[in-house]
Structure 1
């Protein structure tokens, strides 16, 4: 027996149809549709606590604004992410957006993006055998040196040492 389509089902179908319709003549429009589609499928287990339950704050982003921005960040983590672009997603000026984002998450948009990139790099270092230079690029860092500098500042050790320690720990936990 067929179930009636939900609002989410209709939204997915609409976004896919629009993306396909404009793909050849408007790649940016197709990308916007796919970005919105990707934001519907963010892995909630991987979301930071601030997104799952934003703390009550004055002057912060609304929950839909925070979801839209963080969804866009996750969907475009390997690409350059400009504050102006994030602010435009929720209809705010760059300055107002930056202040509201910090009030909602406790960190600036730039710091948040770096944290998400480092988190993705950590996951890829443990789950793949890709070289660090490729992981750096996949996570939106300019190169391996950029990854190493920001990773070290956040985690307190180099990516290579962290990867080796993580693998040793995983190997000792496996029966």
Structure 2
């Protein structure tokens, strides 16, 4: 227990500060999910592939997991976003696709807190804000690749994805196809 005070100080957090969240101590045991999440963060950080919206979504997921796994508070029912909020978020994502869109930006557009946005967005769409942004980017990239003579790298940059390999991976997960010449040829037949 000698290094505990130094550890708390090194992360700028004291055990007596802040609000009591009703979460029992859990840091002296192993949690495979949290370990895996931290390892994935480190892998993405090492590859210089961390995106702000991904970090925000994963931090939110980690908070929810800790609350559900170790907390005692009851879960509240989520009220979905309204049609006008979804429309404004969609318009914002389309207009700022090449920017580093953050969940806070979307919450500001919808005039809600980030915590409420996560719950209400999933209740309304079945997707996290991060997944929604990815789907919109991939759909736009597909349209660009179908209709314009551009390289995969150019299409990736035009939709705010940093690398062609990242575009290919996301497109494969969403559609089952690669953005290669055969993908383009298949769509034009």
Please give the range of the TM-score, normalised by the shorter of the 2 chains: 0.5 to 0.7
TM-score by length of 2: 0.56
Deviations 1:109-161 (A, max 9, x none): 11111111111111111100111100000011111011011111111121103
One of 123, 134, 137 as aligned partner of 2:143:
123
Q: 2:171 aligns with which of 137, 151, 160?
A: 151
Larger Rg: 2
The answer to whether the 8 A contact 2:138-2:171 is kept is yes
Query: Which structure 2 residue ranges, 5 or more long, are not aligned?
Result: 1-76
The Cα shift of 1:164 comes to 2.4
Q: What is residue 91 of structure 1 aligned with on the other side?
A: 111
The 2-side partners of 1:155 and 1:163 are apart by 13
Give 2:183's match in structure 1, choosing from 150, 156, 162: 162
CA distance in 1, matches of 2:131, 2:96: 16
TM-score (norm: length of structure 1)? 0.61
**What does 1:64-75 align with in structure 2 at a 5 Å threshold?**
64-75=84-95
1:72-117 C-alpha deviation (Å, 9 max, x unpaired): 0111112211101100122211111011011111111111111111
Q: Runs of 5+ in structure 1 lacking a partner? A: 1-56, 170-175
Q: Could you list the runs of 4 or more consecutive aligned residues of structure 1 that deviate by over 2 angstroms after TM superposition?
A: none
Q: Distance in 1 between matches of 2:85 and 2:133?
A: 16
Listed one character per residue, the Cα deviations across residues 42-61 of structure 1 (whole Å, up to 9, x for unaligned) are xxxxxxxxxxxxxxx96011
Aligned-partner Cα distance in 1 for 2:99–2:173: 21
Structure number having the greater helix percentage = 1
- Aligned residues, how many? 112
CA distance in 1, matches of 2:86, 2:175: 25
